[in-house]
Amino acid sequence: MKIFSASQIKQWDQYTIAHEPVASIDLMERAAAGCVQWITGNTPPEKSILVFCGPGNNGGDGLAIARMLQRPGRRVTVFILKSVQYSDDFSVNLRRLQSFETQPTYIETTDDLPFIHPDSIVVDALYGYGLNRPLEGIAATLVKHLNQSGAEIISIDIASGLFADQSTPGNSIILPAHTLSFQVFKLAFLLPENEPYTGCVHIIDIGLHPEYCQKTEAAYEMVSETLIRSFYTPRSGFSHKGNYGNLLLVSGSYGMMGAAVLAARACLRSGAGKLTCYIPACGYAILQSDVPEAMCLTDEGERHIEKPAIPDGFDGYAVGPGLGSYPEGALIIEQLFAMKPARLVADADALNILVGNSDLKSAIPTNTILTPHPKEFERLFGKTTNHFERLKLALETAQSLQIYIILKGKYSLIATPSGKGYFNTTGNPGMATGGSGDVLTGILLGLSAQYRDTEQAVLTGVYLHGLSGDFAADEKTPEAMVAGDLVEYLPAAFKKVFYYR
């Protein structure tokens, strides 16, 4: 699913109106009908509904919703924010509503603010995705009044006061339980700073013209199962382990060999043909017993890698899990970077090594995959004032260095060398546990040599990582999950995506 900007969504509306063709007021009817279907199917019929409408087309949606809700006999009261000007479609829908003998109440001052029973349902149709300045005056006061009412709030398209494409610090914004958004996600829904202002997002298909979506480029896209499935090539019956990668994992130190074990298991569960682990001597017995399918090369160092001699000739490399923060770590990274491998994943302590070494950071080989969480990203590439700026910086950095950056979190962002961003749609809070990142590193290493296109490997790896977490959460609950569960449920993730028949 593409994520369009507010201006692109407006163009999509206009394209649909011109090319379907359909009148704008009839397109509004579609949107309202979709919202009404959701509301009637998901709210108790005995509850009263209060619809609050602004002066623009979002308010017009609200008026149409109020009119349609009366057909199944719902108790509906309509309030309109007083304005000197209303949109044309708003005015049409107001006349249609009044033909049902429903007279709205206008809100102009604080004296007009109605009492809202906490057991009622509020429909927020004040302002839509086109808002580009903070609410003020009576509009801001009304938003505060609605938020303090205790009633369940359903926002139409986007919470009033929330900007679709930019940060909204300090604004008066509705706090909805649900957002009924039209056709596609808005960028604002996917960022942590806006979590209080989205509630549960439900996408309502209003039949915008598909041709516009197909031919219009978007800066961001949401990763879907259909997209991941399209990358997959079934294994040949005559294939052998050499077809699926000869890989090297550089990891581990005393007290952190578990990270190496998790990454190695995940790599092998991801279909790698052959895996070798380059580890300190203290990890030999651990790896040989816990991951017997992997081979081991041990460094001279007992507790950590002291005299790295990274062998060349592997199809893919990963470095970082459990490596530790030792001075020799920079030598490991220098050797790997000097090889300029076509496939390299750097995570965890490898990222920490880069933070303090600007020369290494500027020498990152093209096509490298970095997997920082937000704090690691900040230490690597600089602070930003909000999440929108962080997205922009991630995309600019990935394009400038020609690398992949996986900014981990809910809706993990994959920034690509082309400058495009992808948001992952799998995963859950149960994955917020030590070792989850090591599992991701292993999955990415395992897939890197199986896909000719690194971008496909990255998107697939992040998606399967989250999906295995979803299976684990369903079975074990998010609270009881550990990182090893992600490896355990990887086969279920593969089966669902690639063997769904």
In this structure, what CATH number is given to the domain that contains residue 259? Answer: 3.40.1190.20
For 76, the enclosing helix (H) or strand (E) is strand 76-81
Q: What's 170's domain CATH number?
A: 3.40.50.10260
Does the pLDDT at position 91 exceed 80? yes
Q: In Å, how far from its chain's centre is CA 117?
A: 35
The pLDDT tens digits of the residues spanning 384-393 come to 999 999 999 9
Residue 186, number of CB atoms within 10 A of its CB = 24
Residues 151 and 55 reside in one and the same domain: yes
Q: For position 356, what pLDDT does the model report?
A: 79
Of residues 376, 379, 381, the one with CA closest to residue 392: 381
> What's the CA gap between 131 and 217, in Å, rounded?
23
Q: For position 434, what pLDDT does the model report?
A: 96
Do 174 and 143 form a contact (C-beta atoms < 8 A)? Answer: yes
Residue 345, number of CB atoms within 10 A of its CB = 34
Residues 313 and 418 reside in one and the same domain: yes
Residues 250 and 106 reside in one and the same domain: no
Residues in CB range of 326: below 8 A, 6 or more apart: 253, 304, 305, 306
Q: For position 501, what pLDDT does the model report?
A: 60
Residues 196 and 260 reside in one and the same domain: no
Domain boundary among 163, 198, 216: 216
The pLDDT tens digits of the residues spanning 254-263 come to 999 999 999 9
Of residues 442, 498, 497, 493, the one with CA closest to residue 469: 493
The pLDDT tens digits of the residues spanning 397-434 come to 999 999 999 999 999 999 999 999 999 999 999 999 99
Q: For position 308, what pLDDT does the model report?
A: 96
Residues 475 and 331 reside in one and the same domain: yes
Residues 55 and 155 reside in one and the same domain: yes
Percent of the chain past pLDDT 70, that is, above it, reads: 100
SS3 317: strand
Domain boundary among 216, 239, 272: 216
> What's the CA gap between 472 and 462, in Å, rounded?
16
Residues 365 and 283 reside in one and the same domain: yes
Residues 211 and 238 reside in one and the same domain: no
Q: For position 391, what pLDDT does the model report?
A: 97
Q: How many domains does the chain have?
A: 2
Does the pLDDT at position 127 exceed 70? yes
175-180-181-186 Cα dihedral, nearest 10 degrees:
30
The pLDDT tens digits of the residues spanning 265-280 come to 999 999 999 999 999 9
Q: For position 327, what pLDDT does the model report?
A: 92
Q: For position 100, what pLDDT does the model report?
A: 83
Q: For position 249, what pLDDT does the model report?
A: 98
The residue to which tokens 């039209």 are assigned? 182
Do 104 and 53 form a contact (C-beta atoms < 8 A)? Answer: yes
Q: Which amino acid is at 410?
A: K
Q: How far is CA 83 from CA 80, 124, 405, 454, in A?
A: 9, 17, 46, 53
Does the pLDDT at position 300 exceed 70? yes
Q: How far is CA 450 from CA 17, 233, 242, 246, in A?
A: 45, 9, 10, 10
Domain that holds residue 169: 2-216
Average pLDDT over residues 33-56: 97
Average pLDDT over residues 297-316: 96
Residues 295 and 207 reside in one and the same domain: no
Residues 438 and 303 reside in one and the same domain: yes
CA 378-384-387 angle, 5° bins: 95
Average pLDDT over residues 453-457: 97
Residues 175 and 289 reside in one and the same domain: no
Residues 48 and 112 reside in one and the same domain: yes
Domain boundary among 216, 235, 269: 216
The pLDDT tens digits of the residues spanning 142-182 come to 999 999 999 999 999 999 999 999 999 889 999 999 999 99
pTM greater than 0.85 (yes/no): yes
